[in-house]
Amino acid sequence: RPPTVIGQFHTLFFGSVRMFFLGILGFAVYGNEALHFSCDPDKSEVNLFCYNQFRPVISQVFWALQLVIVLVPGAFFHLYAACKSIKQEDILQNSFYSVFYIFSVFLRITLEAVAFWLQIHLFGFKVNAIYMCDVEALEKRFNITRCMVPEHFQKTIFLIAMYTFTVVTVVLCVAEIFEISCRWLGFLKTQ
């Protein structure tokens, strides 16, 4: 278990709610997005070309990768603690363990920030109903074609929810560092 109350809440929030949201609702919203993405003219080569332009990275894959990468620092710390048979209460009493743990939390914050930036760069904040695709590489008569994005409003809500999860995770990590600092300064008693 994480050595702080906030860390334990983060683990519950991160592990349960975020994974459930991504696994169940993400599939419902993004499921077969490529199959329902249609352009004018509605030809499979145009649809596929434009869909790859519209969505260079599949959203669910990106968010699943984000979850795994953000879990890695904590997993390394807990693996180290398990191998050394470090008890939960010893983490906050030993300065080396505390610094190592705080480093893993800072690394989580950094990875979440990078993922947040990438998500903005890849997906933006809103999914529009119409995507204007540049089909010049296909040597079509018109260089720009219009494509319909299925369930664009649901996808926008889901994007905002994923941004919110990232922000909540970062806030929890910062709060956890604050909790550890307060314990070091004697404002809070060690569990």
- pLDDT means over runs of 10, the chain (191 residues): 74 78 79 83 84 89 88 87 84 84 92 94 92 80 82 91 91 89 73 49
Q: How far apart are CA 177 and CA 10, in angstroms?
A: 12
The pLDDT value recorded for residue 136 is 78
One-letter amino acid at 122 equals L
Asked whether the beta carbons of 119 and 139 are under 8 A apart, the reply is no
Whether 107 contacts 73, CB under 8 Å: yes
pLDDT of 109: 94
CA nearest neighbour of 170 among 58, 66, 20, 90:
66
At residue 190, the pLDDT reads: 52
Q: Where are the domains of the chain?
A: 3-190
Contact by Cβ (8 Å): 49, 138: yes
Q: For the chain, give the mean pLDDT.
A: 85
Element (H, E) at 133: strand 130-134
Task: Map residue 147 onto helix, strand or coil.
Answer: strand
* CATH superfamily, with its number, for domain 3-190: Gap junction channel protein cysteine-rich domain (1.20.1440.80)
Q: Are 149 and 155 in contact (CB under 8 A)?
A: yes
pLDDT of residue 20: 83
